[in-house]
Amino acid sequence: MNTNETTPPSNDRMNRIQKISKYLRLILQYGIPLWILSGLLQGALVDYGIKIPSFSNASPTPALAGNDLLTTFPLYWCLLLVVFLFWYRTVVKLFGFFERGILFTAETVRCIQSLGGVYLARFLLEFIFQFLVQNPVLIKPRLSDLFTGFFIFFIGWLIDEARKIREEQELTV
């Protein structure tokens, strides 16, 4: 085998990564906004008396009946929306990098660590608002968000260290 030839399996792997990343980016970029618009449209149609069947089996709990969190704490929902929009932008940007074949760079590490920060911010937001709300049933911080955030930070750190090792090895003769 000639040393100047590229191996087909690694090229095929990169093509698969790029193709899957493109599909996921397109689903996120266009699917989530369409899903949100359909939810808003459904809410608008219900306001006009048009009944649309719901597929949710969850029934509202009696504790939430008189105390709606949306009207009680609009600041909480606005901050949660900001966290979601930051997550959304970061994930679309990360899949855009993967689609272009940019895998182990400082930009991708920064995106991955930002995703860890999003999960930590969500946990802290819920933790802070749990103390502000008198009814502890309304907001419960999830420890899974805390552990997920730290795990994603750890994965980002590992990828960053691997990137640095690869750059050092490329410089050695």
Q: Is residue 2 part of a domain?
A: no
Q: Is the pTM of this model over 0.75?
A: no
With contact defined as beta carbons under 8 Å apart, do 63 and 133 qualify? no
| 142 vs 136, residue with greater confidence | 142
Structural contact between residues 138 and 115, judged by C-beta atoms closer than 8 angstroms: no
**Phi, psi dihedral angles at 6 (to 5 degrees):** -90, 145
**In the predicted model, what is the mean pLDDT of residues 49-60?**
51
CA dihedral 48, 52, 55, 60 (to 10 degrees): 30
pLDDT category at 114 given cuts 50, 70, 90 is: very high
Which of residues 139 and 147 earns the better pLDDT score?
147
For residue 51, being part of any structural domain is answered with yes
Is 17 contained in some domain? yes
Domains in the chain, number = 1
Q: Which domain holds residue 113?
A: 8-171
Nearest partner of 25 among 110, 117, 96, 120, judged by Cα: 96
The top-scoring range by mean pLDDT among 22-31, 51-60, 121-130 is: 22-31
Q: Please tell me the distance from the alpha carbon of residue 68 to that of residue 73, in angstroms, as a whole number.
A: 9
In a domain, 111, yes or no: yes
pLDDT value at 148 more than 90: yes
